[in-house]
Amino acid sequence: MLDDTTIGSLLVHSNGCIIAATNSLTSRAYRSTDNGDHWSIVTDGLQGNIRSIAKNSSGHTFVSTSVSVFRSTDFGDSWSDVGLNLPALPIPDLAVTSMGFVFAATFGNGVYRTTQPTTSVGEDAHQPPETFLLRQNYPNPFNPSTVIRYQLPFRGFTSLKVFDLIGREIETLIEMEQPPGLYEATWEAGGVASGVYIARLTAGTFVASRKLVLVR
């Protein structure tokens, strides 16, 4: 559920994903993928109090805070600071044009614009990731299928499995050697009961898990 405080910013993506941010000293961003019935906190990488939310035509989410501007390309699972050339001032508002340029209004120091359209910003498919990463599945909660994305910086044997909460293996999604790169796997949970499940990625010595919430 959402914090019992004022929601200062709200954004709805074309795929139905909703991003909401509280307006308080302990500002948080939340995401819902089921029309607001369930919410999860998505503040990993954000800094400062959230002031405004916007999006570009590629579905990237932009948030202005009391310290900088941040971008998420995965609907809030992770955020990166893209306001490194902005003055160290609060940014009360931002907007994105149809061409993908971001405008940031700073406190007492004018308006700034990105030098390049943000719709051209993305991960280079030919450049291998620098770290292992298992992203939160999307949508979550879900019914009946969900997508799990992960990245590998090195070639190696990769295993992606789904378990229930008592450790029983429910399904193996990936079990093979894979080169470095960005990957995704879809779990079709048509014959599985509602509940919380665990997706576990194992690649060499790297192990990571995410909770998957199946709602019928």
The domains found in the chain, sorted by start residue, are 7-120 (2.120.10.30), 133-214 (2.60.40.1930)
Q: In this predicted model, what pLDDT tens digit does every residue of 63-94 receive, in sequence order?
A: 998 888 999 988 888 888 888 778 878 889 99
Asked if residue 126 has pLDDT above 50, the reply is: no
Q: Are 36 and 7 in contact (CB under 8 A)?
A: no
Q: In this predicted model, what pLDDT tens digit does every residue of 134-188 receive, in sequence order?
A: 988 888 889 999 989 898 888 889 999 999 999 999 999 999 999 888 888 999 9
CA-CA distances (angstroms) from residue 99 to 55, 63, 180?
12, 18, 32
Least confident of 38-42, 82-86, 143-147, 203-207: 82-86
